[in-house]
A and B are shown apart, each in its own frame.
Chain A
């Protein structure tokens, strides 16, 4: 059913945003649940096993009770793919904000969004430049949400390496977790951006978190194994798994640059995609 009324479009995008948020904060993607189950089964460290016991019970409790997995329901990071027949206007942004306000009220989400300087809380998870919305052309009209919690976001890093320092990429990744320790709620997923520019490399790192984590390239596996040798373990209490996966995205860059960004994501690697029906 194609509705040409702008208000129809606004309501449809708001609804898709709401549905995506609801799914994301309550129910983890299958690949993430599978990775956690596999990791939990292989852990031998006693304290770590207790942590996985809680995590496993929590994933079930959230689904059964229909409540958020984590009280930090994050800030809304939103990706829209736009087919050629949908106009790219401010209405899209307003519609996403509508969906977020309703989700904050009804699911509910914790109101996390504040003015950066006054720290005034808007109460509805929107504000200047928030939600962060990324729009790109596509065949299907979809809204993807990635609710990003602060514990893991706060320990994320961007480093401008020199072109001769390709071998230091692994060191940057390891250093990130060495500084982060248990604060980002390991076992983490690491999104690593390589290349692009100072700003775009961080966007790459975040987008890497949307990729399935049940497969890794040899380079990603190498980084993941190196992180796991640190022994930080679940919640920084020690254990054999510190990272469930490392996912890398690259972009071409200046011949004199090698930007590297590591976006740290807690074990609750929440994201969901919903098709906009209008």
Chain B
């Protein structure tokens, strides 16, 4: 079992997010918006279809049936590495995903928000903490649409904080060192 304190955070998020540190465990409640590759491209072109101030983006393409979230774990965040800057510029304060993001996003997050990691593959657990509230861009299809979801204490960990601490980056550097990194494995 996991012990230790868990920080409760509620959306919309304010400056309380800046106090979080990489490795902190958080339970997040309130509205979040799912977005994957296609939704990011659409939002860049047509604008964000909800109030971005203090909002949270969840990298997720859920299974939805009869207006109910059936399964909704995170997707691989690094696919959105080049697509996330405009979100923070417009007031988004946090991303939720899996696998971490690159140095560019770490700098975009700095002083403004955090990247939360939620455990990949844990879609049934996630769904048990969720209520479906609406959808934007339904024409993008089930996986790529922007679903409006209310969270009830979804258990997360801070992967990248507002101060440049990045658990994934530290693990990467360590792994490269162990491998005897000759840098021919350029990570994307």
The chain A residues found within 8 Å of chain B, CB to CB, are: 46-47, 49-51, 53-55, 57-58, 61-62, 65, 67-73, 108-112, 121, 123, 150-151, 154, 174-175, 177-179, 181-183, 185, 229-238, 266-268
Closest 7 pairs (CB-CB, A-B): A185-B120, A62-B124, A54-B119, A58-B125, A58-B122, A71-B71, A61-B124
When each residue 49-83 of chain B gets 1 if its CB lies under 8 Å from chain A and 0 otherwise, what string results?
00000000000111101000011110110100000
Given contacts A71-B62, A109-B63, A235-B119, 10 further A-B contacts (CB under 8 A): A47-B23, A47-B157, A49-B2, A50-B2, A67-B71, A72-B75, A108-B65, A151-B75, A231-B171, A236-B171
Give the contact stretch, choosing among B9-17, B88-96, B105-113, B172-180: B172-180
Given contacts A68-B124, A70-B121, A185-B121, contact A238 B76 (CB under 8 A): no
Query: How close is B6's CB to chain A, nearest CB, in angstroms?
Result: 9
Is B28 an interface residue, CB under 8 A from the partner? no
Query: How close is A117's CB to chain B, nearest CB, in angstroms?
Result: 15
A182→B170 CA distance, assembly (Å): 12
How many CB-defined contacts (below 8 Å) exist between A and B? 174
Given contacts A47-B23, A236-B100, contact A72 B73 (CB under 8 A): yes
Which residues of A lie under 8 Å from residue B71 when comparing CB positions? 67-71, 73, 110
A to B CB contacts below 8 Å, 25 in the list: A47-B23, A51-B119, A54-B118, A54-B125, A55-B119, A62-B123, A68-B71, A70-B121, A70-B123, A71-B62, A71-B123, A108-B70, A110-B61, A110-B62, A110-B142, A111-B141, A112-B143, A151-B120, A179-B185, A179-B188, A181-B175, A183-B76, A231-B178, A233-B171, A236-B171
Cβ-defined contact, B119 with A58, below 8 A: yes
